[in-house]
């Protein structure tokens, strides 16, 4: 089974190819619809983002509350397409990895190639499995958004598919 | 008041509380069986792998007492109350909402309910979407369905002309699933309401999702629509997670009601592969 660590293997992005099944590890920042709107506003005002975008990974997800003894509650991917309009500028700002579910717009696919980024498709609905693979969870920004706030996760062996690779490969285009 | 059975609404709330926790953490047995069959049958490796992840997720959720999916939905509650029941205690809706509030809190379920305009979260997943029906007898049937919105958003209503007939119904189902693509977390379970009014057929479509996956309507012509619709939907080759495989839907379930001579309402309610619901009787 191929493994990929977004923090340690950042130099190996070009070795990822659409259709590959990988176990993904490393640091990700959660962000859904509302958080993206706010990131967009910060970029527009040329203000710093609540996390360093260079080399960062964004996970389109909003977790359930953590039960006792766990870092995180159930937390599968949400539909990535809803934030497509905000994605190219984030990739231009340095974000390298995206994890979510479902197709992306052509603009996102083009921005991924331009910036050498990868979009991983996690399995929608598998919330317990992914939540269980979150080993650390820390609130980073926008606590008023509750489950839609930005959290920093340390994830371990997320089963995901390389959906859009840095070479223009795309599993949704057949 | 003779021959009336008294039931305290607290009893309904207590039962519902347990049902919510169980439903959120467990795929229904018929859903697990359908996912297993789909994995067996699937010829596209990407989809087969994804279906394996879905099944593994179901096991982890049950074992770790975690919600199957982080979208624990809006709380849809259907109470079928016998007309020989006299409800006592606090107002019914209050007890239902108290059960939702407590279960979503205790179960570490996500609170996904918000004001439609300000988008402010209500904070406790209330109010429930509560339907009550009066039925014969002196029992209460409680149904609970946590409805996630990735799939709910893909649902549609068609006001067909009677001339469209069965073919129109099949086309409506196919079109809904085709336009949804990979977004509702396929393989989906499709609930279809046929007949009634604009609102009634939507309610029937929701109720159709309560039927175990793979079971057919008792009326042969309705069961025939279910079978034909499933074939057509699977021929779309959307596949698990939209990866383009053989199994796009786990099943199609239809409920019908008489309608107006001038119309043929059809509602298609899409459910993701995490079919979660509970039914209990008091």
Phi, psi at B79, each rounded to 5°: -115, 120
Residues B27, B68: contact at Cβ < 8 Å? Answer: yes
> Please, which residues have CB within 8 angstroms of residue B130's CB and are 6 or more apart in sequence?
B77, B79, B93, B96
Q: Running DSSP on this structure, what letter comes out for residue B235?
A: T
Q: Which residues of B touch A127 (CB under 8 A)?
A: 57, 61, 66-71
Q: Which two tokens stand for residue A103?
A: 């197709």
Q: Closest approach of chain A CAs to the CA of B271, in angstroms?
A: 11
Strand A97-100 versus strand B140-147 pairing type: unpaired
Quote the domain boundaries for residue A140: 2-8+20-164
pLDDT at residue A174 above 70?
A: no
Q: Which residues of A touch B53 (CB under 8 A)?
A: 123, 126, 129, 159
Q: Which of A142, A128, A7 is nearest to A63 (CA)?
A: A128
Residue A15 included in any domain? no
**Cβ contact, residue pair A128, B60, below 8 Å:** yes
Tokens 């209500």 sit at which residue? B122
d(CA A90, CA A104): 14
Residue A74 included in any domain? yes
**Would you call A45 exposed, middle or buried from its count of C-beta atoms within 10 A (0-12, 13-18, 19+)?**
exposed
**Cβ contact, residue pair A146, B121, below 8 Å:** yes
Average of per-residue pLDDT across B143-161:
96
Over the stretch B67-116, which tens digit does the pLDDT of each residue have?
999 999 999 999 999 999 999 999 999 999 999 999 999 999 999 999 99
Q: Which residues of B touch A36 (CB under 8 A)?
A: none
Over the stretch A50-107, which tens digit does the pLDDT of each residue have?
999 999 999 999 999 999 999 999 999 999 999 999 999 999 999 999 999 999 999 9
Number of domains in chain A: 1
Tokens 């369905």 sit at which residue? B145
CATH code: domain of residue A87: 3.20.130.10
For chain B positions 24-53, those within 8 Å of chain A (CB to CB) are 46, 49-50, 53
Residue A169 included in any domain? no
Strand B264-271 versus strand A57-59 pairing type: unpaired
pLDDT at residue B1 above 90?
A: no
Residue A170 included in any domain? no
Tell me the ipTM for this assembly.
0.91
């Amino acid at each position: 089974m191929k493994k990929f660590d977004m923090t340690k293997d950042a130099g190996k992005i070009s070795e990822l190819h659409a259709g590959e099944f990988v176990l993904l590890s490393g640091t990700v920042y959660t962000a859904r619809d509302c958080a993206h709107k706010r990131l967009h506003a910060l970029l527009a005002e040329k203000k710093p983002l609540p996390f360093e975008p260079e080399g960062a990974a964004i996970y389109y997800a909003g977790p359930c509350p953590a039960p006792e003894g766990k870092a995180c509650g159930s937390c599968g991917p949400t539909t990535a397409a809803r934030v497509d309009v905000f994605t190219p500028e984030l990739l231009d700002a340095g974000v390298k990895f995206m994890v979510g579910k479902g197709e992306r717009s052509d603009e996102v696919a083009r921005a991924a190639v331009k910036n050498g980024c990868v979009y991983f498709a996690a399995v929608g609905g598998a919330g317990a499995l992914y939540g269980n693979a979150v080993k650390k969870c820390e609130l980073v920004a926008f606590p008023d958004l509750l489950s839609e706030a930005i959290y920093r996760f340390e994830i371990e062996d997320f089963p995901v598919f390389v959906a859009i690779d840095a070479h223009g490969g795309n599993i949704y285009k057949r | 008041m003779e021959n009336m059975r008294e039931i305290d609404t607290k009893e309904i709330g207590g039962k519902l509380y347990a049902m919510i926790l169980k439903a959120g953490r467990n795929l229904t047995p018929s859903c697990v069986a359908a996912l297993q069959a789909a994995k067996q049958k699937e010829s596209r490796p990407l989809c087969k792998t994804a279906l394996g992840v879905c099944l593994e997720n179901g096991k982890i959720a049950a074992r770790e007492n975690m919600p199957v999916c982080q979208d624990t939905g809006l709380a849809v509650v259907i109470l079928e109350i016998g007309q020989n029941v006299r409800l006592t205690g606090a107002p019914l809706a209050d007890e239902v909402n108290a059960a939702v509030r407590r279960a979503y809190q205790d179960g570490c379920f996500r609170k996904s309910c918000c004001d439609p305009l300000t988008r402010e979260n209500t904070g406790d997943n209330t109010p429930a979407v509560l339907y009550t029906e009066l039925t014969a007898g002196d029992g209460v049937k409680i149904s609970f369905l946590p409805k996630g919105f990735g799939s709910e958003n893909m649902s549609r209503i068609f006001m067909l002309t009677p001339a469209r007939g069965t073919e129109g119904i099949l086309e409506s189902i196919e079109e809904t699933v085709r336009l949804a693509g990979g977004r509702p977390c396929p393989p989906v379970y499709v609930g279809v309401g046929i007949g009634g009014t604009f609102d009634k057929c939507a309610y029937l479509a929701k109720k159709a999702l309560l039927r175990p996956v793979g079971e057919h309507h008792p009326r042969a012509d309705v069961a025939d629509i279910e079978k034909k619709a499933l074939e057509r939907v699977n021929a779309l080759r959307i596949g698990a997670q939209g990866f383009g495989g053989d199994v796009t839907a786990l099943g199609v379930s239809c409920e019908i009601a008489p309608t107006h001579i001038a119309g043929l309402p059809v509602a298609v309610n899409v459910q993701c592969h995490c079919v979660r619901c509970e039914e209990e009787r008091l």
